[in-house]
Amino acid sequence: MSASLNNVILVHNFLNQTLGLEQTVIEGQIVGRVTESDPALSGNGQYAWEGRWTGDYLTPVAFAKLTVNGEERLTFATQDGLICWLHDGWDDNGAEILDELLTRGYFGSREVLALKGAFQFDTFNPSITASILTAGVNEEETLEGFSPLTRDRTKYLVDGLADYDPATSTETQFDAPFRADYSPTADELTVARADVHQSITEPFRCRERDYGIQLRVANGQGSCRIVGTVIQAKPVGINATRKA
């Protein structure tokens, strides 16, 4: 915060404030889940803090929830009298917005060997770079197939289907399922629907050994909504069990 105005917004995700983590070892592999319960029993909101936002236009004097174009939005007023609101978007005055997510490492302080995982994305004309991180200096490796991962709006996710042709598309053809990307071209202005995100699960393979393995996902164009991530790993060392 500067002496004259607010220039940092601390982000607390109230939807995550009751989340907690449960982990155990089954047949030599660490498995777990995120659970929702009483905040007093689930980590006291430790998963709710998302980080901070900064920027020349993020200078709020006061916040309020208002209805904008039929949807409830978090709005704020600036010192010079502008009323702004926050919404899903990927373009800032003609320039693409670079989005990046760095996950936390959840392995219960156990050293593990990570072998594979997957992302679930909702995308609109994306350019996704993904990497896996371990502790140390510059110990980050770009995942194969994510350098970057882009989508072809003319291709389908099902083999054998003919390519989509934007120049001759109808509304029914635009909405046909299993297309890799639904971002429209100028030829589709009368038949397309704006902001159609394709939901896709993208697996990956890795071989990283550490106590707190993390994933970094960055998108340089369009829109990428990260629905979920998962890493499958094996604990390192000897695991003893006892039955009475």
CATH of the domain at 187: 2.60.120
Please check whether residue 145 is in contact with residue 131, taking contact to mean a CB–CB distance below 8 angstroms.
Answer: no
Lowest mean pLDDT among 23-27, 39-43, 137-141, 186-190: 39-43
For residues 2-10, give the mean pLDDT. 71
Full 3-state SS string of the chain: CCCCCCCEEEEECHHHCCEEEEEEEECCEEEEEEEECCHHHCCCCCCCEEEEEECCCCCEEEEEEEEECCEEEEEEEECCCCEEECCCCCEECCEECCEEEECCCCCCCCCEEEEEEEEEEEEECCEEEEEEECCCCCCEEECCCCCCEECCCCCECCCCCCCCCHHHCCHHHHCCCCECCCCCCHHHCCCCCCCCCEEEEEEEEEEEEECCCEEEEEECCCEEEEEEEEEEEEECCCCCCCCC
Residue 115 domain-assigned (yes or no): yes
Output the pLDDT for position 1.
45
pLDDT value at residue 242: 60
In a domain, 27, yes or no: no
Tell me whether residue 153 is in a domain. yes
> Residue 94 pLDDT > 70, yes or no?
no
Q: Mind listing the pLDDT tens digit for each residue in 158-196?
A: 988 999 999 899 999 999 999 999 998 877 878 888 778
Is 7 contained in some domain? no
Assigned domain for 124 exists: yes
* Predicted TM-score of the model (pTM): 0.63
Residue 69 has pLDDT above 90, yes or no: no
In this structure, of 9-13, 71-75, 110-114, 145-149, the range with the lowest mean pLDDT score is 9-13
* 211 closest CA partner among 76, 105, 93, 101: 105
In a domain, 41, yes or no: no
Q: Which residue has the higher pLDDT, 124 or 7?
A: 124
Of residues 50 and 227, more confidently modeled: 227
**In terms of Cα–Cα distance, which of 242, 241, 238, 244 is closest to 111?**
238
How high is the mean pLDDT of the chain? 81
Structural domains counted in the chain: 1
| Structural domain harbouring 115 | 91-237
Residue 244 falls inside a structural domain: no
CB 12 within 8 A of CB 48: yes
Q: Is residue 28 part of a domain?
A: no
pLDDT of 198 above 90? yes
pLDDT at 104 over 60: yes
Task: Enter the tokens of residue 82.
Answer: 């502008």
pLDDT band at 75; cut points 50, 70, 90: confident
